[in-house]
Structure 1
Amino acid sequence: MASPRDWSKPRSAAVALAAAALSGVLGYFGTGLHPVAALTWLVPLPVVLAAPRLRWPWALGAAATGWILAQSNLWTYFAHELEMPPGVLVAVLGFYPLLAVAGTALFRALLGRGRPVSAALAFPAVWAAGEYLLSIAQPHGAWLSLAYSQAGLRPVVQLASVTGVWGVTFLVVGVPAALAALAAPAVPRLRLAVGAAVVLLCVGGYATYRLAPAPAGDRVRVAVLGGPVDGELAPDSAAGRALLSRYTRQIGAAADDGARVAVLPEKVFDTTGRTWPLVADPLARLARRRHVDIVVGAVVRHGRTAGNVAVAFPATGGAPVTYTKRHLIPGLETDEVSPGHGPLRQVPGDTRFGLIVCKDLDFPELVRDNRNHGSSVLLAPAWDMGRDGWLHSRMAVTRGVESGSWIVRAGRYGDLTVSDPTGRVVAEANATAHPDAVVVAEVSTATAPTLYARAGNWFAWLCAAAALVLLAAALRHRARNRWDTALMVGSTPRR
């Protein structure tokens, strides 16, 4: 195999452009709002295969270009639906190309020093650590993780119950890195092949164990209701009264079908101190009369302040409990409502049912906190943006796998979903096409917290430490080679 120095510039350019283009096409379809899960595993492969055979500028340029092309599937979504300011848009979409450059650089350096195992570990360690650092540095939580592309592949996503989404990302980008290291010229392959096989066998064995049928526990029937595609209706308007009447009929029918919990979407009513009783009083009476816990999403205004809330009306007839959404969409919500603070909230009289709202499910720590406070089922009013319904609902599904929770999510203008702690979607409806849809399903309250729920982001920090150690090893090896070369020619290396 020819070394990078033996290649002409035209040949290097052709290989780099081909690798970037193929990676970009795979990433365009393997990531984004509707990813093809199998393609996600292939996205880094063309670049990491080519990197050892290219000079540094070509290799790193191909890595960055590939991810710029891949993420072009999100440009209009971030700019239009989420209304991200241009500076924030560039920063968010620029992160993954930079991450690709960093991972490729360390992979190439270690592979060039004859350390294929270290190279195969370094690439996914950089990615997993980078995703975690991004999740705590920007206001969208773990929104951009590659792990969600695997939400439909339940054996793969079980790893999140141990490592969080960071372990799933590590696996998805680690497999192509291992393949590229095995294919690199003049490297020892046996140890790497055995190590990769052991990791995959362990992941597969754990997935088989976790997907085994769970013991039967307490079962509760829940109903999830859709809502209007757009608008937050005033309760004293004709449209608001009609919507409340529809919800009353639907909850009654669900109760006849055995439902004991009903969840309505986010912000279906826009209320003030004067109009809130028009919503609260009928729902409180209905909850008490039909023995159904009812959770409704609304905007509640008090003077100049407003909150995006989930309010639970208990079947026992006691006082309702209010949870205020903590994580708001910058721009779209922060100009209108204030974030919530204070303690977590559960349905009155039953701490197994926790309250959460939409974007809060993008933050693993908040779901972990709920699980560790005893909430085995999260009731989530939500509001999606049409074409992101699948992806946003699967983020919630993945949160349930991480912490061992059932997720009951009423996503208006998106998906209505009920999912179990292994990521199985037991009931689903498209509320974009059918705004008046209702799904009814059984959930179990007898589930246990996961290792991730108890230990948190240990794996992300382990990846960060591993990346730093491997970077130091690569730099030390380079410095030693410079000194050895200098001693051979009788000079002192420049610092």
Structure 2
Amino acid sequence: MIEGKSRDVSIGAGAASWLCYAAAVALLLFANGRWALGLAAWLAPIVLVRFVRTRPARAGVPAAYAALSLAWAFQFRGMVPLPPLGYVALALGFGAIGLLPFLIDRFVTARIAGFASTLALPSAWAAIDFLVARWSPYGSWGSPAYSQRENLALLQLLSLTGMFGVTFMLGWTAAVLNWVWERRRRWPQARGGALALAAVFAAVVLGGEARLRLFPPTAPTVRVASLSAPDLELFPSADVARRVRSGEGLTDAETAAVRNLARAIADNLLQRSEREARAGARVVVWAETSGFVFKEDEPAFLARGRDLARAEGIYLGMAYAAWRRGAARPLENTLILIDPRGEVSWRFLKAVPVPGPEAAVSAPGNGRLKVVATPFGRLSGVVCFDMDFPRLLAQAGGLGVDILLVPSGDWRAIDPFHTDMARYRAIEQGFNMVRQVNRGLSVAADYQGRVVAAMDHFATEDRDLVAQVPTRGARTLYSRIGDAFAWACAAGALVLIALASRRRG
């Protein structure tokens, strides 16, 4: 329904709108990122919408942009490996991206007064979130959906719409509550909108609870052991480390020293893998780049893993850094799965190195997931940052992956946020996941996002995680229809903008 402009904006007048702004600023600081509070993510857009709609554009738009940019800088401080100027530029960019759906909401609701106008903000927000996740070098980082990572019932929506359904709900709640407020003196008209929001919200949350309680994983489990790197020095000096990572040459003595240290690390990993196999683990996997090998030494290194897998009858996921000396991009961030016969089932190179120092030295893989059928389900794997790209992980749903091995490496500032992000992909695509993390929270999670085992790198000296992991995943609606919901949101936003453009403000 299209009507003339008729909303009540009295609450936005004068000082009241700036009170909304102050509340928005305070709430935005905790609406995402390192210190996210789930409730703040629901409340912040409500008052920000009120402010953006009711202030003159020349004052309201710059103020909202400043709030969103500063909030993003605070939310993700220490989480992005960039120098200060680069980080400021990134925060300003994400501030502009964050502002856009609120500007679209302001434009549409000034011209369309019907309940359909409440779809402008959520449709635009979900569509922009989708496009950022699809094309940004940081993937889905910054998505408002990650603010709800502790709300497991709500997150079951991911199995239907992907993470963009959660973004839609955040935006639609803000839009509907503002629509109701503007019609608070005409309650019979506003009541229908309030009931519609309540009904949809209840269906989403209760549906999620029902899925968790009535349809939990029932497949047999397999014992999976995952190991982090030992606390052993790899390089004899910082200068040798720098030259190895930059592809510069080493003396024969330095090369021999690095090989000896790398062998000690390999000995540790293989001994621990053997111990876990003898304790009953049928799948063993290492954290990201736990092993190290010069490229010319790789065959001998793999032979040791193949011998162990054959002797113990296990699937062994060896995650290691293979360095091609003299290459412009010397690092091959590798995950290889060896089967109980000692044969290589598949090889995967990290597809998306983290922008910055890692990307500068990495030779990325082609991003094609490999899968092998085993008595314990279909096994596949990716490496760390790859999990932040929903489009890449869509392959897992299409391939029917049951267990995804995810060797990873984090740091304090992104722990445990980054591990929680990975659980979104498990729910979306219906696979069980083992994410073993150097310097972070390691978890095994089922395809509903339920954590079945966890190990905190910073709280224990025993860096091995053992979990009973379901051997069957679930084919989700999202894995079948892909981003149909997000594209529908994009189309809906464009239609609303077109309709609003035909009317004068």
Using the size of structure 2 for normalisation, the TM-score is 0.85
Tell me: CA distance 1:241–1:230, structure 2 relative to 1, closer, same or farther (3 Å). Answer: closer
Q: Please, which of 242, 255, 258 is the counterpart of residue 277 of structure 2?
A: 255
The answer (yes or no) to whether the contact 1:262–1:292 under 8 Å persists in 2 is yes
Aligned residue in 1 for 2:242:
none
Residue 500 of structure 2 aligns to a residue whose secondary structure is helix
Unaligned runs of 5+ in 2: 1-5, 236-254
- Opposite residue 165 of structure 1, the aligned amino acid is M
Q: Distance in 2 between the 1:241 and 1:454 partners?
A: 45
Aligned residue in 2 for 1:243:
265
Aligned residue in 2 for 1:485:
none
Q: What are the superposed Cα offsets for residues 21-53 of structure 1, whole Å, 9 maximum, x if unpaired?
A: 322221212211241122211121222233444
Aligned residue in 2 for 1:371:
397
Q: Distance in 2 between the 1:37 and 1:346 partners?
A: 36
Aligned residue in 2 for 1:130:
128
Aligned residue in 1 for 2:363:
338
Q: State the 1:298 CA deviation.
A: 1.3
Aligned residue in 1 for 2:243:
none
The answer (yes or no) to whether the contact 1:378–1:407 under 8 Å persists in 2 is yes
Q: Distance in 2 between the 1:176 and 1:367 partners?
A: 30
Q: Distance in 2 between the 1:55 and 1:103 partners?
A: 17
Say whether residues 1:404 and 2:426 are aligned partners.
Answer: no
Tell me: CA distance 1:164–1:390, structure 2 relative to 1, closer, same or farther (3 Å). Answer: same
Q: Please, which of 134, 147, 168 is the counterpart of residue 145 of structure 2?
A: 147
Q: Distance in 2 between the 1:6 and 1:22 partners?
A: 14
Aligned residue in 1 for 2:58:
57
Tell me: CA distance 1:76–1:114, structure 2 relative to 1, closer, same or farther (3 Å). Answer: closer
Q: Distance in 1 between the 2:63 and 2:267 partners?
A: 58
Residue 357 of structure 2 aligns to a residue whose secondary structure is coil
Q: State the 1:375 CA deviation.
A: 1.5
Q: State the 1:406 CA deviation.
A: 0.8
Tell me: CA distance 1:232–1:195, structure 2 relative to 1, closer, same or farther (3 Å). Answer: farther
The answer (yes or no) to whether the contact 1:228–1:435 under 8 Å persists in 2 is no
Q: Please, which of 348, 354, 360 is the counterpart of residue 380 of structure 2?
A: 354
Aligned residue in 1 for 2:92:
94
The answer (yes or no) to whether the contact 1:16–1:58 under 8 Å persists in 2 is no
The answer (yes or no) to whether the contact 2:317–2:336 under 8 Å persists in 1 is yes
Say whether residues 1:194 and 2:195 are aligned partners.
Answer: yes
Q: Distance in 2 between the 1:53 and 1:133 partners?
A: 28
Q: State the 1:429 CA deviation.
A: 1.1
RMSD across aligned positions (CA): 2.9
Q: How many residues align?
A: 472
The answer (yes or no) to whether the contact 1:48–1:180 under 8 Å persists in 2 is yes
Tell me: CA distance 1:415–1:342, structure 2 relative to 1, closer, same or farther (3 Å). Answer: closer
Residue 33 of structure 1 aligns to a residue whose secondary structure is helix
Residue 428 of structure 1 aligns to a residue whose secondary structure is strand
Residue 328 of structure 1 aligns to a residue whose secondary structure is coil
- Opposite residue 202 of structure 2, the aligned amino acid is L
- Opposite residue 46 of structure 1, the aligned amino acid is V
Q: State the 1:117 CA deviation.
A: 2.0
Q: Distance in 2 between the 1:410 and 1:68 partners?
A: 33
Q: Distance in 2 between the 1:343 and 1:2 partners?
A: 51
Q: State the 1:201 CA deviation.
A: 2.7
Q: What are the superposed Cα offsets for residues 375-416 of structure 1, whole Å, 9 maximum, x if unpaired?
A: 111101111122202111111101000010111111111111
Aligned residue in 2 for 1:489:
none
The answer (yes or no) to whether the contact 2:226–2:284 under 8 Å persists in 1 is yes
Q: Distance in 2 between the 1:92 and 1:39 partners?
A: 23
The answer (yes or no) to whether the contact 2:430–2:475 under 8 Å persists in 1 is yes
Q: Distance in 2 between the 1:118 and 1:92 partners?
A: 34
- Opposite residue 220 of structure 2, the aligned amino acid is D
Aligned residue in 1 for 2:163:
165
Aligned residue in 1 for 2:457:
431
Aligned residue in 2 for 1:66:
67
Q: State the 1:337 CA deviation.
A: 1.6
Aligned residue in 1 for 2:414:
388
Q: Distance in 1 between the 2:154 and 2:11 partners?
A: 41
Q: Distance in 1 between the 2:233 and 2:113 partners?
A: 58
Aligned residue in 1 for 2:473:
447
Q: State the 1:174 CA deviation.
A: 2.0
Q: What are the superposed Cα offsets for residues 185-233 of structure 1, whole Å, 9 maximum, x if unpaired?
A: 5663123112212211321242133212436223211112122579766
Comparing 416-425 and 170-179, the one that deviates more:
170-179
Q: Distance in 2 between the 1:436 and 1:243 partners?
A: 15
Aligned residue in 2 for 1:203:
204
Residues 209-358 of structure 1: pairs in structure 2 closer than 5 A: 209-211=210-212, 212-214=214-216, 216-228=218-230, 237-277=259-299, 279-303=301-325, 304=327, 305-319=330-344, 321-341=346-366, 343-347=368-372, 352-358=378-384
Q: State the 1:237 CA deviation.
A: 4.5
Q: State the 1:15 CA deviation.
A: 4.1
Aligned residue in 1 for 2:238:
none
Percent identity, aligned pairs only?
Answer: 29
Q: What are the superposed Cα offsets for residues 351-382 of structure 1, whole Å, 9 maximum, x if unpaired?
A: 70102111111111222212211311110111
The answer (yes or no) to whether the contact 2:33–2:75 under 8 Å persists in 1 is yes
Q: State the 1:61 CA deviation.
A: 3.4
The answer (yes or no) to whether the contact 2:30–2:75 under 8 Å persists in 1 is no
Q: State the 1:243 CA deviation.
A: 2.7
Q: Distance in 2 between the 1:100 and 1:310 partners?
A: 36
Q: Distance in 2 between the 1:270 and 1:454 partners?
A: 39
Q: Distance in 1 between the 2:163 and 2:71 partners?
A: 20
Q: Distance in 1 between the 2:311 and 2:195 partners?
A: 63
Residue 319 of structure 2 aligns to a residue whose secondary structure is strand
Say whether residues 1:421 and 2:447 are aligned partners.
Answer: yes
Aligned residue in 2 for 1:493:
none
Tell me: CA distance 1:387–1:110, structure 2 relative to 1, closer, same or farther (3 Å). Answer: same
The answer (yes or no) to whether the contact 1:47–1:59 under 8 Å persists in 2 is no
Comparing 21-30 and 247-256, the one that deviates more:
247-256
Residue 416 of structure 2 aligns to a residue whose secondary structure is helix
- Opposite residue 249 of structure 1, the aligned amino acid is Q
- Opposite residue 428 of structure 2, the aligned amino acid is E
Comparing 190-199 and 259-268, the one that deviates more:
190-199
Q: What are the superposed Cα offsets for residues 152-201 of structure 1, whole Å, 9 maximum, x if unpaired?
A: 11111111111111111111232122212211256631231122122113
Say whether residues 1:43 and 2:44 are aligned partners.
Answer: yes
Q: Distance in 2 between the 1:422 and 1:118 partners?
A: 33
Residue 30 of structure 1 aligns to a residue whose secondary structure is coil
Tell me: CA distance 1:215–1:297, structure 2 relative to 1, closer, same or farther (3 Å). Answer: closer
Q: Distance in 2 between the 1:15 and 1:301 partners?
A: 60
Comparing 459-468 and 347-356, the one that deviates more:
347-356
The answer (yes or no) to whether the contact 2:17–2:54 under 8 Å persists in 1 is no
- Opposite residue 346 of structure 1, the aligned amino acid is V
- Opposite residue 42 of structure 1, the aligned amino acid is L
The answer (yes or no) to whether the contact 2:350–2:383 under 8 Å persists in 1 is yes
Residue 117 of structure 2 aligns to a residue whose secondary structure is helix
Q: State the 1:16 CA deviation.
A: 4.6
